[in-house]
């Protein structure tokens, strides 16, 4: 089972993903894509770490998501990828060919993966149009990524105000 969990900031996406993992009774692999570029982000990452159960395996991977998923995916594990938004942020800052290759690798490997996994991501396309061309490019790239991942997942859930709404 593959599930894409979308929602705005502080909508309950990560909490919901963690509940699904806990309820599965499987060993959990938590793939964190965030990088600490400043003190505030470092504090956010530390809070996320403190909120996770100590027996979960944590893999910090900001770029090579496809490779890590190939290594970790199995019927005997529950995988959380948190989050695709930060992963795309990390990719978009790389050379164009690296950006495209990592994204293509992920989308190519996703249908081949077995086991239970959830992908957390921010739904940013419902807000205002970004003022900068880079902001618009990011919004568009994330929207296209969501469409492709949603088509490859068994379920898609939208989180709002801590409430999960099944879309697919």
Catalytic residue set:
48
Cis omega (within 30 of 0) for bond into 8: no
- Structure-token pair, residue 57: 């395996």
- Structure-token pair, residue 158: 């939208």
On the 0-12 / 13-18 / 19+ scale of CB atoms within 10 A, 13 is buried
The answer to whether the beta carbons of residues 146 and 121 sit under 8 Å apart is: yes
Containing 72, the helix (H) or strand (E) segment is: helix 65-72
- Structure-token pair, residue 65: 């998501």
- Structure-token pair, residue 47: 């809070």
- Structure-token pair, residue 110: 């996703």
């Amino acid at each position: 089972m593959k599930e894409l969990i979308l929602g705005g900031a502080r909508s309950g996406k990560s909490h919901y993903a963690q509940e699904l993992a806990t309820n599965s009774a499987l060993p959990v692999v938590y793939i964190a894509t965030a990088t600490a570029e400043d003190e505030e982000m470092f504090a956010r990452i530390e809070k996320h770490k403190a909120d996770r159960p100590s027996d979960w395996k944590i893999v910090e991977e900001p770029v090579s998501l496809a490779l890590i998923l190939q290594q970790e995916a199995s019927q005997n594990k529950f995988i959380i990828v948190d989050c695709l938004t930060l992963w795309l942020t990390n990719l978009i800052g790389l050379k164009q060919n690296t950006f495209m290759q990592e994204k293509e690798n992920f989308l190519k490997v996703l249908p081949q993966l077995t086991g239970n996994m959830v992908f957390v991501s921010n739904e940013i396309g419902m807000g205002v149009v970004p003022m900068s061309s880079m902001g618009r490019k990011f919004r568009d790239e994330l929207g296209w990524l969501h469409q492709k991942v949603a088509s490859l997942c068994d379920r898609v859930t939208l989180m709002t105000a801590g409430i999960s709404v099944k879309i697919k």
